Amino acid sequence: MEINKLEMISFRNHKKTKIKFNPGLTIIWGENGSGKTSILEAIHSLSYGKSFRTNNKTDLIKKGDKNFFIKGFFKNKNNSKNSVTLSQDTSGLKKITINKKPITKRKELLGLNNVVVFSPEEEEITKGSPINRRNYFDKIFSICSYSYLNELLSYNKILKQRNSLLRTEKNTIKKQKEIEIWNKPLIQKGFSLWSKRKAMMNEFISFFIKTVNRFDKNLKLDIKYDLKSQNEEEYNIKLIEKTDSDIKKKHTSFGPHRDDVFFFWDQKQIKNHGSQGEHKLFLALLKITEQLFLSQKTQKTPIFLIDDMFANLDKERSKKLLRFVEAFKNKEKKTQTIITTTNIVNIKENGFFLEFSEVNKHHLQINGTT
Ligand SMILES: Nc1ncnc2c1ncn2[C@@H]1O[C@H](COP(=O)(O)OP(=O)(O)OP(=O)(O)O)[C@@H](O)[C@H]1O
Ligand SMILES: [Mg+2]
C-alpha cells in the first residue's frame, strides 16, 4: 500500500497543503504546532473515514472556515490506483468519495487503503479505560473481516434497542417481561461476536508474543482476554441476574460491549504499573504487531505512520526500536513509512533509515504549508 499524494484544504491548521510521499520513507519535520500530526490524521481519515484524535464534528475544520476537504491518491501492490476524498462541514455532514463516486456508508471504505498509526495521541490504548482497548481491537478486526464488522454492527443494533427499552417510562413488571424477549437475540448476537472476538484475539496475541520475542527475548510482555461466559446458558443466567439493576441503571451491564483486554509487563498490569517509556514501548510493539497482523490477514501491507518518533523514549530504546522497525520493514519488503519528528538531527545523527537511497523530507513551517 502506498499514498503518493495528499491534498488538504482548511484541515486543522492547514489552509492549503499538498504533499508528495516517497514509496519508501518520508520524514516530516517541524516545530511543535506546525501541523505534523494533522497530516497523519488526514491520511488516517482517508483510510478509515474518521480521525484517530477526535470524534467532534468541528475539530478538524480550520478555525473560521466552514468546511474541510482532503484528498489522497493511493496505490496498491498490484499497481491499481484509487483516490479518496473526504469533506465535512460545520453541521457534521460528511461526504466520502472513492474514485470520484460518492459512498453512502463508511464501511465501504474499510479495508481499501490500510494504515497503522503509532502516535502519542493513541496512548490511551494502554493507559485508558476498557473502551479504548475495545475500540482498538474492534477496528483492527473489522478491517480484517467483514463478517466481524457485521457481527459487531448487528450486536450494537440490538443492544441499542434493549437499552432504549430500559430507558422508557413503563412500569417495572412490564419492562421485565419485554426485556426478557430481547434477551434471546441479544445472547445470540453477543455470543457469536464473543466467539469471533476470542478467535481473532488469540491470533493477534500469538503474533504479539512472536513480535516481542523477536524484539527482545528478555522482555516479558503478555496480553490476556477472557470471555465473561463460556456458553449461551451462562450468558442468559447473568443477564437475568442483572435485569433489576439494568432497569435501575437504564442500560445493559453485561455483554461483549463491556469487555476489557489486559496488558501485562512482567506479570503486572501495565495500566497500573507501567512507566511512560514502558507504555510507549508496549504501544510500539502492539503497533508493529498490528502492522504484521493486518498485512497477513488482508494481503495488503498497511502504510506505517509514526508520529513524534522520539517522545518518551530514551536514546537506547529509540535506537533499538528504530532498528527493529527497519528490520521488519526489510523482511516485509516494501512498507511505506511516514515519520514525523521535531528533531531531524536525531534521525540523521543516529544514521537511521540509511537503506533508503531516496527519502522525501518535508519541513513544515508553522502555518502548516510545506
Ligand atoms: N481546527 C483547527 N483550526 C486551526 N488550527 C487548529 C485546529 N485544530 C488544531 N489546530 C492547531 O494546529 C496546529 C497543528 O497541530 P498538530 O497537532 O498537527 O501539530 P504538530 O506539528 O503535530 O505539533 P507537536 O510537535 O506539538 O505534536 C496546532 O497549533 C493546533 O493548535
Ligand atoms: Mg504532533
Q: Is 38 in the pocket of ligand 1 (CB under 6 A)?
A: yes
pLDDT of residue 176: 85
| Cα 131 to middle of ligand 1, angstroms | 26
Model confidence at 140, pLDDT cuts 50, 70, 90, reads very high
Average pLDDT over residues 149-159: 96
Q: Specify the range with the lowest mean pLDDT, choosing from 42-46, 128-132, 149-153, 242-246.
A: 242-246
The residue with cell 474492534 is 138
Q: Is the pLDDT of residue 348 over 70?
A: no
Other C-beta atoms closer than 10 Å to the C-beta of 264 total 17
Q: How much is the average pLDDT of 228-254?
A: 92
Helices (DSSP H) in the chain: which residue ranges? 36-48, 124-127, 130-144, 146-167, 172-215, 232-241, 243-249, 270-273, 276-298, 315-331, 344-349
Average pLDDT in the 226-232 region? Answer: 89
pLDDT tens digits for range 84-99: 999 999 999 999 999 9
Predicted local confidence at residue 328, as pLDDT:
64
pLDDT band at 353; cut points 50, 70, 90: low
> What digits encode the pLDDT tens for the residues 59-81?
999 999 999 999 999 999 888 99
Q: Is the CB of 64 under 6 A from ligand 1?
A: no
pLDDT value at 326 more than 90: no
309 lines ligand 1 (CB under 6 A): no
What phi and psi values does residue 343 have, to the nearest 5 degrees? -130, 90
Q: Which of 33-37, 75-79, 98-102 has the lowest mean pLDDT?
A: 75-79
Highest-pLDDT range among 75-79, 134-138, 161-165, 180-184: 134-138
pLDDT value of residue 141: 97
Sign of CA dihedral 228, 165, 132, 106: positive
Find all residues with CB under 8 Å of 237, minimum gap 6, and list them.
none
Show the cell assigned to 220.
516479558
pLDDT at 94: 94
In which order are the strands placed within the sheet that holds 262-265? Answer: 221-224, 262-265, 268-269
Sketch out the chain's domains with CATH numbers. 123-299 (1.20.1050.90)
Coil/strand/helix, residue 115? strand
pLDDT > 70 fraction of the chain, expressed in percent and rounded: 92
Task: Provide DSSP, 8-66.
Answer: EEEETTEEEEEEE--SSEEEEEE-TTSSHHHHHHHHHHHHHSS-SS---TTTTBPTT-S
- Mean pLDDT across 155-178: 88
Query: Is the CB of residue 228 less than 8 Å from the CB of residue 197?
Result: no
The mean predicted confidence, pLDDT, of the chain is: 90
Q: Rounded to whole angstroms, how far apart are CA atoms 196 and 147?
A: 9
In the prediction, which pLDDT does 25 show?
83
Mutate to test the pocket of ligand 1, among 9, 13, 362 (most ligand atoms within 8 A of CB): 13
Least confident of 20-24, 72-76, 316-320: 316-320
Give dist(CA 270, CA 259) in Å, integer. 17
Indicate if ligand 1 lies below 6 Å from the C-beta of 36. yes
Q: Is the pLDDT of residue 334 over 70?
A: yes
**137/284 Cα distance (integer angstroms):** 15
Q: Using 50, 70 and 90 to split pLDDT, how confident is the model at 198? A: very high
pLDDT tier at 57, thresholds 50, 70, 90: confident
Identity at 163, one-letter amino acid code: N
